[in-house]
Structure 1
């Protein structure tokens, strides 16, 4: 199991950091008027990274035999990921930039990261 788990965790974390970096850069670039922010190739790259994150996350979930019904931190993470995807899509959808959607997506993303690290719904508060 170690031959699978260790590399998969590293890949999952690397993909997550790449996705976060892309999201931050896209938001900042839009503030400076960059036209490439809405380019279809970039959107494909972002979508592909999200697919790979989900696949690696589901693989880890299966390898660890976690059940979201009993692992409440995982349920909270799934809900927050859904909020991140929805607000992130709204922030950059239809070639427009919506600052409120961007900020809400960043907040959801920060919560996802914190829950992933603490494995606590309330983040130890």
Structure 2
């Protein structure tokens, strides 16, 4: 069981970093109005990364018996990730709110990472 957990955790971390780098690049491309940032192939890769992140995250959640009522950091992280998804979408498709959405998405992603690392909804403050 320990080998499964450590492998799943490592895969989840690598997928999260890959997703972060891809969003950072696509968000910058959107800021400079580069068309490759909204390419369908990149959208498919992004969807695949997020799907695998969800599967590995849910697997870890079940394996470690987390409870959203007891583990408030996980509930806060999931809410931040939902808000991040909305902001990330607005970053790529919106013309008027591109920069605020990009900055908001990066802030929410930073919060989600911080909550994961500190295991605290208040980031240990």
Aligned-partner SS, 2:86: helix
- Unaligned regions of 5+ residues in structure 1, if any? none
- 1:46 — aligned with what? 46
Aligned-partner SS, 2:124: coil
- Residue by residue over 1:41-88, the C-alpha shift from the partner in whole angstroms, topping out at 9 and shown as x without a partner, is 111111110111011000000000111111000000010010101111
Distance 1:35 1:86 in 2: 20
TM-score normalized by the length of structure 1:
0.93
- 1:3 — aligned with what? 3
Contact 2:84 2:109 in 1 (8 A): yes
Q: CA deviation at 1:30?
A: 2.9
Change (3 A) 1:29 1:93: closer
- Unaligned regions of 5+ residues in structure 2, if any? none
Distance 2:32 2:98 in 1: 14
Q: CA deviation at 1:90?
A: 1.4
Mapped pair 1:24 → 2:33? no
What is the total number of aligned residue pairs between the two structures? 124
Distance 2:86 2:80 in 1: 10
- 2:56 — aligned with what? 56
Runs of at least 4 residues off by over 4 Å? none
CA RMSD in angstroms comes to: 1.3
- 1:15 — aligned with what? 15
